[in-house]
Structure 1
Amino acid sequence: MTRILAIDTSSAWCSVALSLDDAPPLVRHQKVSAGASQLLLPWVEELLSEASIELSSLDAIAIGNGPGAFTGVRLGVAVVQGLAIAAKLPVLAVASLDAIASQLVLSPAFVSSGAHSFVVALDARMGEVYWARYRTTQNALPQREGDIHLSAPEGIDLANIEFLAGSAITEFGERLFSSIPKALANSHLDSEIGVNALGVLACAQAMWSQGLQQDVHLLEPLYIRNKVALTSIERSQQHG
């Protein structure tokens, strides 16, 4: 039984979840674009107050550390650093794609598909995609196969994949579908699913059980890409 606060601001959503032993998690999850900085700490205070506990009584704080929106990732990591240092708590860093994968396998569409291998692919802007391959496991979270990649949409490895999920479907549909098996393109897709604190929490709980918490001073954003913007010349070349 664990008490973990989970935070994610790596997308256009501000998301916070608090798990208290075996009770259902308390959650705040809202699309805010650039307003996460105004909601994050008040939400943390609200959830702790609702649960009638102090921050210092938690076991750990989990953070979705990317990849994702550059400013959002930095915000979430900075807030968790401040909270964890103040309360002397360890942290659990969860990759955004892993958090999405943990939620995807519970969705009715995925369950009904009978899929065992899948890809999570997120729009990374600048004409590129963050993506990773996963495989389901029995009575456990899905297992990521290899690293999280950054590539052009055509560079995603979809060999033997039975399900595809993530925002890259909407952004790069035509370019993705050229290499997707017909059955996959017709039905086994989820373009709406995104990262949220419940997914971060699920991964963090599994990490905690394996002793994978870390000192807050070791916490870093997971960027994958170091360059966060194109020059005007690069933008014009990209659009032909």
Structure 2
Amino acid sequence: MIELKNISKTYTLGNEKIYALKDVNLKIDAGEFVSIIGPSGSGKSTLMNILGCLDVPDDGEYYLDNINVAKLSDDKLAEIRNSKIGFIFQNFNLLPKLTAIENVELPLMYRGINNKQRHERVIKAVESVGLIDRINHRPNELSGGQQQRIAIARAIVGEPDIILADEPTGNLDSKAGKEIMDVLVNLNEMGKTIVLITHDLSISQYGRRIIKMVDGKFLPE
């Protein structure tokens, strides 16, 4: 499903060229749960942005379902982000003025799905994370763990094949963090491909495959 070939990404700091990623190769099959663990500055977030079609590498090739992502237009990339990939972020990224159900509904509105289908999908997604009784609450009326579960519902409402989770437990206590990881494990068991980025060794253990990242490179598995 995912294949990275010799991916490199550099940034310039003053006169110095810094590699965020250097000749990274990676294959992820459909249905896998892969944890990528590394310290701050190891290149994890850059990798996540490339996997999520939010950024492009300087060198190398990224194939998603055998399609070379680098050759796609901005519109096509946006279409992939909205239909094939679900994103979960550390800071939840919920819109504060919208209720939980309105936040979950947003991706479907962008896709022009009619009201009836939107409502059915949203209810199904919110039920799957166990928060149907909170659908009319705004983010500030929800705990951190509840906000992240609503964010997961938003990520899966478009029925993507891939879930990219960037430090999804980073702002949560251990109990809420475990609840979030249990939701991700359940999604994986339902067939979703999960790529988890974390610096937390205990959280990485939820993955079926763990890849360690240091200084823009993967350590041998």
Q: Same fold (TM over 0.5)?
A: no
Q: Return the structure number with greater strand share.
A: 2
TM-score by length of 1: 0.25
**TM-score, normalisation: structure 2:** 0.26
